[in-house]
Amino acid sequence: MSAATTAKAPTGVWTLRARGFREFARKFARRSDGVLGFVILVFFTIMAIAPQLFVGALESAITASGDGLGPPSMTHILGTDELGRDMLNLTIHGARVSMVIGLLATVITVVVGAVIGIVSGFVGGLTDSSLMRLTDFFLVLPTFVLAIILAPIILDMIGVDAEVAGLRATLVVIVIVIGITSWASTARIIRSQTLSVKERMFVDRARVIGSGNGHIMIKHVLPNVMNLIVANTVLVFAGAVFTETTLAFIGLGDPFLPSWGQLLYAAEAAGAPGLGAWWLIAPPAICVVLVILGFTLMGNALDDILNPKSGVRR
């Protein structure tokens, strides 16, 4: 959306948005990379919403349907793991786990990051510098150490039986840990944008009228930062899935509700590379890469469209 449209009087902001959306959709459709990313994500989201529709319940040791370490065959298209569980089943259920963890972690990251970024950038002064110090503090927190520290504390707080959005308690810990260690960079990015939005004239106009800080932040700053937030959210999602996969690979996953990272960890622990059991590694690895790639492609496309830098060469 060009500066020209938003410079008009703020009435009918939502009408403007509807018009803007159609134009946006048109631009988006022309970005083949963004569309590709979108398609990938739709595919995985469908799998993630109701995996049991496709493959039935998550197989456990007791309900394993095949022989141990069976290569791909007619009955098990992606083979079986060392306990005989069907890899297709595990991988599709893994989609749900990885995506839900990513989603929840992203929500935490973006909400906290955006709030702190906007407040910090807008209010400025002492609030700004203290919030920035806080942000720096969170930027240097080591993720893995934090995970170890927080796990028993969070488990204690929510109870080991807890289930949030179908995630077991141990995975909730991972969500919180990723959220805590990711919001800081989002906050910084949002803050920079807020600073530049602050300069724009209509904000001063509103202030002259006598609107309060909160009102200005919500009604004026937020819509103008929203584009960046949206683009950033998608990229944060990619990062969250990346981080979760890595944390699970180091052993912080949940063997009872395996994410793709946990499946890769299990493959490594079972000695899959040495045994040549590539079917334990390939499905989760390819899925991880596709999802992260999808988010990145879409995020880049959104970023280009919503936050045009000088010279749109398309």
Nearer to another protein, 48 or 151 (CB): 151
Q: Which two tokens stand for residue 72?
A: 């791909």
Closer to another protein by CB, 10 or 276: give it.
276
Both structure tokens of 314: 């398309």
Contact set for another protein, span 169-188 (CB under 8 A): 169-170
Of the candidate spans 43-51, 139-147, 198-206, 223-231, the one that interacts with another protein by CB under 8 A turns out to be: 139-147
Residue 100 parent element (H or E): helix 87-123
DSSP code per residue over 38-80: HHHHHHHHHHHH-HHHHH-SPP-TTT--S-TTPPS-SS-TT-B
Q: Work out which of 62, 126, 208, 209 binds another protein, going by CB under 8 A.
A: 62
Among 74, 126, 160, 209, binds another protein (CB under 8 A): 160
Cα separation, 98 vs 165, whole angstroms: 12
Q: Which of 42, 149, 157, 165 binds another protein (CB under 8 A)?
A: 149
Question: What's phi and psi for 294, nearest 5 deg?
Answer: -60, -50
* Residue 158 touches another protein, criterion: CB under 8 A: no
119 vs 187, beta carbon nearer another protein: 187
**By the rule CB under 8 A, 146 interacts with another protein:** yes
Q: Which residues of 33-46 are buried (b: 16+ CB within 10 A; e: fewer)?
A: ebeebbebbeebee
Quick note: the x/- pattern for another protein over 240-279, rule CB under 8 A, is --x--xx--xxxx-xxx-------x-xxxxxxxxxxx-x-
Binding segment (CB under 8 A) for another protein, from list 7-15, 61-69, 91-99, 104-112: 61-69
- List CB contacts of 30: < 8 A, sequence separation 6 or more: 314
**Applying CB under 8 A, does 298 fall inside the site for another protein?**
no
Angle, helix 169-199 to helix 87-123, in steps of 10 degrees: 40
Q: How long is the chain? A: 314
**Which residue in this structure is represented by tokens 């707080």?**
157
15 or 310, CB closer to another protein?
A: 310
Q: In degrees rounded to 5, what are phi and psi of residue 309? A: -90, 175
Cα–Cα distance, 227 to 212 (Å, whole number): 23
CB of 273 to another protein, least distance (A): 5
Rounded least distance, CB 25 to another protein, Å? 23
Residues that bind another protein (rule: CB under 8 A) add up to a total of 64
Binding status of residue 137 toward another protein by CB under 8 A:
yes
* Closest distance to another protein from the beta carbon of 205 (Å): 30
210-233 burial, b at 16+ Cβ within 10 Å, e below that, comes to eeeeeebbeebbbbbbebbbebbb
Residue numbers at the binding site for another protein (CB under 8 A): 60-64, 68-69, 82-84, 137, 140-142, 144-146, 148-149, 151-152, 155, 160-161, 169-170, 238, 242, 245-246, 249-252, 254-256, 264, 266-276, 278, 281-282, 285, 288-290, 292-293, 296-297, 309-311, 313
